[in-house]
Structure 1
Amino acid sequence: MIKHFTATAFVVQNNKIALHWHSKVCEWLPAGGHVEKNENPVQTVKREVKEEMGIDIKIISRSKYNFFEIDNIPSPEVILLESVFDKNIGKHQHIDFVYFAVPIENAVKLSNQWKWLDSNELLSQNKITNFNGLSKSPPEDVIKLGVDAIKKVQNI
């Protein structure tokens, strides 16, 4: 089966995460996308957040290793194997490097395509209405990882 490497960022601000309606997969998702040639996952996630949200981010990393002659790429919170379907490629899988992040600048304002959700809103699993009037709850992984991202940033 075809596999693509992707990277995702749960961006946390004011104890909320940002989600947008992904029209290709019809789900509420955080920012992210495919790892391009000669990119590492952190470069990908920073590029994707800049392209999709218009902001720069800092990765919240738990890495405890520092080396003098070797660079250390921050470890993701989790690596997910997601089955996806694309009309051009067909069924394939995304190996998704999932990171937690915060905006570098305070008081970020996003377009109306983005929604800021707190832990209670995520856990309630209430449907969120997109700009076309379609309502749907975020997927289970987005809820669980979103809540964990908020908790992790609160404990920094």
Structure 2
Amino acid sequence: MAVSAFVVWRDQVLLHRHPKLGMWLPPGGHVEPNEVPDDAAVREVREESGVEVELVGERAIDAPGPRQLVRPRGVQLERIAPGHEHVDLVYLARPVAGYGGGLGGEGAGFGWYDAGAAAGLDLSPELRAWVALALRELASG
């Protein structure tokens, strides 16, 4: 199982050109053993970009327990290679309060892209649709 997070800050979405795959992607990766998807999405964004985020989405109920996980904005089956598929839980997220725009982390090539800049990137149709949805739902600019 994998997670992806479309992080929106102001009117920009966080993307990078994946060095191995040669395509534009949001932060994301595999859910580790004994890790819940919410925590995996937050961890992947932090590790890859250095940005601390909070996931945006519904929780089924407001209760003190058990922990209610954020519902992913989407769930998709990705064919990585013949015989190799990932179920990808796709989240929307925002940087935590006080974020100033800086990037770091282990991933190279991350940047913030507004709608105009993203339109100029060589995005897959699927990624273009996710970027539009994320900006439409979370952009504050």
TM-score, normalization: structure 2?
0.87
Give the counterpart of 2:89 among 97, 103, 123: 97
Give the counterpart of 2:125 among 135, 140, 156: 140
Q: 1:73 to 1:64 in 2, by over 3 A?
A: closer
Give the counterpart of 2:48 among 35, 45, 52: 52
Q: Per-residue deviation at 1:138?
A: 1.4
| One-letter amino acid of the counterpart of residue 101, structure 2 | V
Counterpart Cα distance in 2 of 1:22 and 1:117 = 15
Percent identical: 29
Structure 1 alignment gaps of length 5 or more: 129-136
Structure number with greater Rg is: 1
Give a deviation string over 1:107-155, Cα, whole Å, max 9, x none.
Answer: 2212571122112333x3x3x4xxxxxxxx0111211111111121137
| One-letter amino acid of the counterpart of residue 111, structure 2 | K
Give a deviation string over 1:40-93, Cα, whole Å, max 9, x none.
Answer: 1111111111110112101111335222332110000000100013xxxx6411
| One-letter amino acid of the counterpart of residue 57, structure 1 | V
Q: Is 1:108 aligned to 2:109, yes or no? A: no
Matches within 5 A, 1:121-140: 121-122=117-118, 124=119, 126=120, 128=121, 137-140=122-125
TM-score, normalization: structure 1?
0.79
Counterpart Cα distance in 1 of 2:4 and 2:48 = 11
Give the counterpart of 2:25 among 25, 29, 34: 29
Counterpart Cα distance in 2 of 1:68 and 1:14 = 31
Aligned pair count reads 136
User: Which structure is higher in strand share?
Assistant: 1
Counterpart Cα distance in 1 of 2:52 and 2:14 = 14
Q: Is 1:63 aligned to 2:63, yes or no? A: no
Counterpart Cα distance in 2 of 1:113 and 1:7 = 19
Structure 2 alignment gaps of length 5 or more: none
